[in-house]
Chain A
Amino acid sequence: MPTFALVDCNTFYASCERLFQPDLRDRPVVVLSNNDGCVIARSNEAKSLGIAMGAPLFKIRKLVDEHGVIVRSSNYALYGDISERVMSVLGSQAPAHEIYSIDECFLDLDRMAVADLTDWCRNLRRRTHKWTGIPVSIGVGPTKTLAKVANRLAKKSAKAGGVLDLSHHPQWTEAALRKTAVGDVWGIGRRWSAMLEERGIHTAHDLACSQDGWVRKRMGIVGLKTVHELRGIACHALDDQPAPRQTTCCSRTFGEAIRDKGQVHDAVMSFAERVAEKVRHAGQVAGAVQLFIRTDPFDQNAARKSVSGSATFQRPTSDTRVITDAVLRIFDRIWRDGYGWRKAGVLLLDLGDPASVPASLFDVIEQPDGLMAALDEINSRFGRGKARLGLARKGGEWRMRQENLSPSFTTRWGDIPAAKMG
């Protein structure tokens, strides 16, 4: 029988913030979305204060002041680096792994020859925490969906000590399913959960006991797979070879609506530079580029508009000069005066391996002149956007609001933490 583990980092963003600032350990911490809009992550202390996921900052202002809640802007440079470390520890210990999200990883423990899997998981948990500073919980089950159920309970129950193995303790499965609300089952969205609740299906156990025909009719084959997985029949395998990324994007919501063409131009150019850097970092080339600009879709009082355009490169490229040139042409074509633009983004599409690009008869063979490599090196050493092509002005009001950003402790020399000798 297959054996899956789901390893999930406990309050991951808050744990990253605390790693280099131990004085935050016992204090409630919340992390805000891009632009400091609303709460996207909470420490357990912040959860106990009743701060809801998605709450806008202004709504929790009073709680923040009264309880000394630490508020942080999201620091993806930090979270991304720590995530890579956690995944590398997990990947080195298990026969196969699948990174499911920034803070979750499935392990395939099928061929593991260990006497006691719970012990093994406890060791893995200890090792991950020791090496990376990030606490994790581990759920084990014969299917990915049951591993998820086990993980949730491992995290909640003090008795479990961060590990719950349903594969070797099938007698616990029914109780685990009874304790899991149907809406908390992997793959059951809000819409399905409302429909199920209405029909008296409240727990994962209720769902597992539903009739196949009915499930198939109401929730299709996807829903049926979920139900089978709850019964212990594996329908999802480990995708340990994720396909290379086909698109990459750099987009931002502006701090406020921008009407000025020059300002939006600058923002868009910097996104083009950033996204070009991303594909170069991945060792890929792009076949096409797309630019979009839109107003605030939720603002009832302002005129709403969304424009976009794209261009195909004659030859796949990762050269900032070619990409920004294309984005500039699209921008001039799609720009409309008279709107308050709120978001823009540049996408690179049709990404591929530079080696597989066919040469054409009329190609001017590009000599790698080292300029792009030098640009990337300067920016990685001195901070993003320090060296740029002569296209964009510095600064500008479009910049993301990040008033409470912690340093990039692990990815920028100027930001590494200080250790006191006093």
Chain B
Amino acid sequence: MLRFVEYPTPLELPLFGSPVEAGFPSPADDHIEGKLDLNEHLVRRPAATFFVRAAGESMRGAGIFDGDLLVIDRGITPQPDDIVIAVVHGELTVKRLQRVNGAWQLAAENPNFPTLPIRDDGCEIWGVVTHSIRRHCGR
């Protein structure tokens, strides 16, 4: 039966004891050690974790493409070089947080898009992007 997985339902996949190799399977593979839960891997703080959908082209250099699913952890304190969700003009926006010569800025990862300086009145960092998930098979 198909199993639809929705957070926080654990997605259980068997974890095998030996690395995958070509040829004959190891007899040790019969011994299942436990189950892998994808949530455990992607979500460290469930109460602080949110999912958003990335929209646009300005973060291609960081490997984030239009339609990717982003995992956001609001529990992490943002640091320079983190990819963050920042509030820009009242909208949630994906940027690279940078500190250049003591000044904070929000950089795009695409030469066609500008880098935004963070002015003295500050800027709200909504959360830190911890993972991006892209679908490679449309079926």
Contacts and interface: CB of A to CB of B under 8 A. Distances in A.
Nearest to B93: A420
Contacts of A421: 54-59, 64, 66, 93-94, 108
A380 B4 CA distance: 9
B43 interface: no
Given A20-B92, A377-B3, A419 B55 contact: yes
A410 B54 contact: no
B48 interface: yes
A88 B55 contact: no
Contacts, number: 97
Interface string B52-91: 1111111100001010011000110000000001011111
A298 interface: no
B90 A23 contact: yes
A235 B51 CA distance: 43
A22 interface: yes
A75 to B, nearest CB: 16
Interface size for chain A: under 10, 10 to 19, 20 to 34, or 35 or more residues? Answer: 20 to 34
B48 A419 contact: no
Given A22-B90, A374-B1, A418 B47 contact: no
B31 interface: no
Contact of B50 (A21, A377, A410, A420): A410
A131 interface: yes
A67 interface: no
A378 B46 contact: no
A86 B74 CA distance: 13
Nearest to A90: B47
A351 B56 CA distance: 49
- Give the interface SS of chain B, mostly helix, strand, loop or mixed: mixed
Contact of B46 (A25, A88, A370): A88
A409 to B, nearest CB: 8
B124 A22 contact: yes
A89 B52 contact: no
Interface in A364-422: 370, 374, 377-378, 380-381, 409-410, 413, 416-422
Nearest to B70: A419
B132 to A, nearest CB: 11
Most buried by B among A88, A133, A410, A421: A421
Contacts of B53: 416-419
A409 B54 CA distance: 14
A378 B6 CA distance: 10
A416 B74 contact: no
Given A133-B74, A380-B4, A419 B51 contact: no
A159 interface: no
A130 B74 contact: yes
A85 interface: yes
Contact of B52 (A84, A88, A419): A419
Interface of A: 20-23, 25, 84-86, 88-89, 92, 130-133, 370, 374, 377-378, 380-381, 409-410, 413, 416-422
25 contacts: A22-B90, A22-B91, A22-B92, A22-B126, A23-B90, A85-B47, A88-B46, A132-B48, A374-B1, A377-B3, A380-B6, A410-B50, A410-B51, A413-B6, A416-B51, A416-B69, A418-B52, A419-B92, A419-B93, A421-B58, A421-B64, A421-B93, A421-B94, A422-B58, A422-B93
Given A416-B50, A417-B50, A421-B58, 7 more contacts: A23-B89, A132-B74, A381-B4, A410-B50, A416-B52, A419-B92, A422-B55
Interface of B: 1, 3-4, 6, 45-48, 50-59, 64, 66, 69-70, 74-75, 85, 87-94, 108, 113, 124, 126
Q: Which 4 A-B pairs have the closest CB atoms?
A: A23-B90, A421-B56, A131-B48, A422-B56
